[in-house]
Amino acid sequence: MDPLGARSQFVDIQTLPTWEQQLDPEAEEIPQEYSDSLVSQQAFPSPFPFRPDINRKIILFTGDIALLNCTAIVNTSNESLNDKNPVSDSIHQLAGPELRDELLKLKGCRTGEAKMTKGFNLAARFIIHTVGPKYKAKYRTAAESSLYSCYRNIMQQAKEQAMVSVGLCVVSTTKRGYPLEDATHIALRTVRRFLENYGNNIETVVFAVSDTEEPVYRKLLPLYYPRTEEEERTSLPLIPADIGNSEGEPVVPERQIRITEKPGTLEDDCEDSLESDLGQVGNHAFARMEGDVDKQRKLILQGQMSEAAMQKQHQRNYNRWLCRARAEDLSDIAALKALYQTGVDMCGRTVMVVVGRNIPVTLIDLEKALLYFIHVMDHITVKEYVMVYFHTLTGEHNHLDSDFLKNLYDIVDAKFKKNLRAFYFVHPTFRSKVSTWFFTTFSVSGMKDKVHYLDNLKQLFTCIKPEQIDIPPFVLEYDTRQQTILQIMQAYKLFHSL
């Protein structure tokens, strides 16, 4: 406790400049020839476009994270939660001995996980403890995935606990040997993707760094959080090829097989090399597996294409939609809160929620809605999942027509259909049941047996625990009202039967 009248040692994050405010208006302009060379690249949009709403949430702070007056700050530690490093030492010193006693109750923390305690004597209300990976070049892929999990789980904790602000330290300590620049790429892109997808209620994210870490963060921040369209354009060539998936999670190349349509390397250096390489086109083993591309396209038009070739063509089409979804600004669709991830069901499968009343069909761009669905669902559908659709109090202007749903079903990847285990239709009406029956019987295949109609939340809770699903308040109110009416009617019938 600071003496009365003494200046507090803690730092109020409201007084710190945001990343947007740290833009130097007198920064040197890019040479014209370099700027012109970038114009042609704009046909391929930046995967991290200029977003002022996100930039206003970001703060780069050089100093002690333990001093930040945030809802929560992050402590980087080891599996036993007793690591000795500058960040952890400072937090323990200011938080007091109660923190050490509290950590003993947690019984350790696995690499990539995040666990939370109270902040005790800190200005922050909570401390999120995480364990970064030990880096070895031989196991780089595993280290990248673990470090991504650290930042992802930290942000997930902040979201689940409705935290307004969170202070992030550099999780990859020197002792663990993770290259600082590589680790910074993962940290920045993971937080960026999380804020895009789930960060509506998080107002501030502070990257707290040391003097040695600050230059690296300042160099890489514009790649993921460009402050102007000009900065977005100039940063595009510097963004690494591996930017992860739609969540920022590292993609493992060894698990993906790619067969190119036009194999062969074309060199511009000399004519002989060009002729030599062109002679190899179509002779490579993978190229022979591909077959005659023109012939395949003709077969598509004639409706005579093989099933395997059709599946391949469908995959390419889906990938084009996915690339568009990752590049486009879909914040207006996200703000509707019509589709979101919640907990898990009784079998441990991810639960996705769709709120019918939050879909203003006549007011939104349905193509953007389709892109948003693909953007959110792509990483979810790699494992088994279930969907809960709240039809509660939906009006005519909330109903997606069957043509749109059929188009969506035809576009999405096969994993969407294969890994969907159940579709819970809550508070259906007679009309919606009939419409769904016709749609699943005549328009799409394999969906009919997965649809389950639930008249009340009590039935839903036999499949998903109440604490595992975020239910809109109006749905809870409606369900309570309906159950009260039902009880009154039953009491009335019982009374008259006597």
- 234 and 350 in a single domain? The answer is no
Whole-angstrom CA distances from 495 to 294, 482, 488, 498 are 77, 20, 10, 5
What CATH number is given to the structural domain containing 344?
Answer: 3.40.525.10
430 pLDDT above the threshold of 80 = yes
pLDDT tens profile 72-128: 999 999 999 999 999 999 999 999 999 999 999 999 999 999 999 999 999 999 999
Check residue 295 and give its pLDDT: 59
Residues 346 and 223 in one domain: no
Which of 238, 266, 291 terminates a domain? The answer is 238
Q: How high does pLDDT run on average in the chain?
A: 84
Asked if residue 377 has pLDDT above 50, the reply is yes
**Phi then psi for 143, rounded to 5 degrees?**
-65, -40
- DSSP percent split of the chain into helix, strand, coil, nearest 5: 50, 15, 35
Residues 233 and 366 in one domain: no
Domain end among 217, 238, 259: 238
C-beta neighbour count of 417 within 10 angstroms? 15
In a domain? residue 187? yes
pLDDT at 316: 84
Q: Are both 350 and 204 inside the same structural domain?
A: no
In a domain? residue 210: yes
- pLDDT number for residue 327: 78
Beta pairing, strands 72-77 & 126-131: parallel
Percent of the chain with pLDDT over 70: 83
- Domain assignment of residue 300, yes or no: no
In a domain, 429, yes or no: yes
Confidence at residue 312, expressed as pLDDT on a 0 to 100 scale: 78
> What is the CATH classification number for the domain harbouring 45?
3.40.220.10
Instruction: Decide: 10 and 63 in contact? Cβ < 8 Å.
Output: no
Q: Given a cut of 90, is residue 389 above it in pLDDT? A: yes
Instruction: Please check whether residue 262 lies inside any domain of the structure.
Output: no
Of 186, 211, 238, the residue that ends a domain is 238
User: How many domains is the chain built from?
Assistant: 2
What pTM value is reported for the model? 0.52
Overall average pLDDT of the 353-368 stretch: 91
pLDDT per residue over 207-248, tens digit each? 999 999 999 999 999 999 999 999 998 988 888 877 888 899
pLDDT confidence band for 148 (50 / 70 / 90): very high
**The domain containing residue 47 runs over which residues?**
13-238
Region 455-475: mean pLDDT is 93
Q: Supply the DSSP string of 269-311, one letter for each residue.
A: S-HHHHHHHHTTTTTSHHHHHH--HHHHHHHHHHT---HHHHH
212 lies in the same domain as 348: no
